[in-house]
Structure 1
Amino acid sequence: MLSIQNLHARIGDTEILKGLTLEVKPGEVHAIMGPNGAGKSTLSYVLAGREGYEVTEGSVTFDGQDLLAMEPHERAAAGLFLGFQYPVEIPGVSNLLFLRTAMNAQRKLRGEPEISGADFMKRVRAEAAVLGLDIEMLKRGVNVGFSGGEKKRNEAFQLGMLEPRFALLDETDSGLDIDALRIVSEGINRFRRPDRAVLLITHYQRLLDHVRPDRVHVMAAGRIVASGGPDLALRLEAEGYEGIAA
């Protein structure tokens, strides 16, 4: 589904990704762990098409398409979803308006009809109930007045509503208490299907206790330096990155 080959990327004159290679197949959940400054968030931004990041070498294909040749909105319509490490606030734009506009924009690019108001609200109520989000909260500006945990639950809500094919989640467990971590993890597990895939970026084993990955990768100095099964995350928890990421 996602194939990254020898990816190099920089910001200005600073090279951050230095030959990263990764394959994620349909139905799989992969986790990337690594020390601060390893390039994990840069990888997510490059895949999503954020401005300011220049790819200097390598390739990325998504479902056989050249992902790097696509504009950000085209990547989203193709099925790529980015959950931010630090979700932003958008005052004056309600969560519901934002989400319905995004859904219909993607549907238009795919040649699909717009979702009706009734069908949209039916789905909103179902997803909000699962994630413990109050409908009145979703009428506020995007993430305005939300706690850190509420922002992450809101992103899990967006994931469930948009139903992308590939979820790229950048430290979705950051700032979550025990209950919020369980709720967000349940949202991720509900998303799992044979025709979808997930790439989790995380610092902590605790998320992987709830969302069991198929593969765990260690990233350091802009590339993948070790890969293994879920036991690799347990080893990192016990030993740290020194030695593994050397």
Structure 2
Amino acid sequence: MTDTPPGRDGLVDLLGVLAYAELTAFLRLAEDAARLAPTLTDRAALSDLAATEYAHFRLLRDRLTALGVDPEQAMAPFVAAFDDWHVQTTPSDWLEALVKAYVGTGIALDFYREAARHVDEADRALVDEVLADESTSEFAVERVRAALRENPKAGGRLALWARRLVGEALSQGQRVAAARPELAALLVGQDGEDLAEISRMFARLTEAHGKRMSALGLTPGP
């Protein structure tokens, strides 16, 4: 029997959690398109985004298979946390769905982008490709900003919703990290990093969140 290469368990966890995140994003976006999209154009656009998420899932699934890992087993440890997050943050209308797709999912995936800094170049490139959110950004920003121009009072409600999304995402992220120490180790590198670097990581997460909120025309809040 060969030994497991250092960091391989963390990599498998990273690919597994991202694979399930992309699969659930596909399912939720498709559901929101059918349930909440106000026009056929919006329904089609959100369906296109869902299709992109599914394509990302396939890339991750194929990489896990190439590593000799069963994708279902790799995803299984993360099902409860992601499903709970989606249940607790079910959008009640179209604008909440857009904010969730852009802000809520974005802060969650930022954690895994940080973890990808400590994997090899090829897998880091794969994660970067999967986490690219230009299409989601353009679509959500355009729709939310247009809605706020028509009804500026909606901004307060959506800002509160975004803060709730982020709070729930951070809570679930901590839950996952506590349960999967190999994945948590990727966030601070294989040899560990000092508290200053961990503080800088959270500063990067906070900055990225603030930029998303500002792009939507919402106040980041405390």
TM-score, with length taken from structure 2? 0.32
Q: Which structure features the higher share of helix residues?
A: 2
TM-score, with length taken from structure 1? 0.30
Q: Which structure features the higher share of strand residues?
A: 1
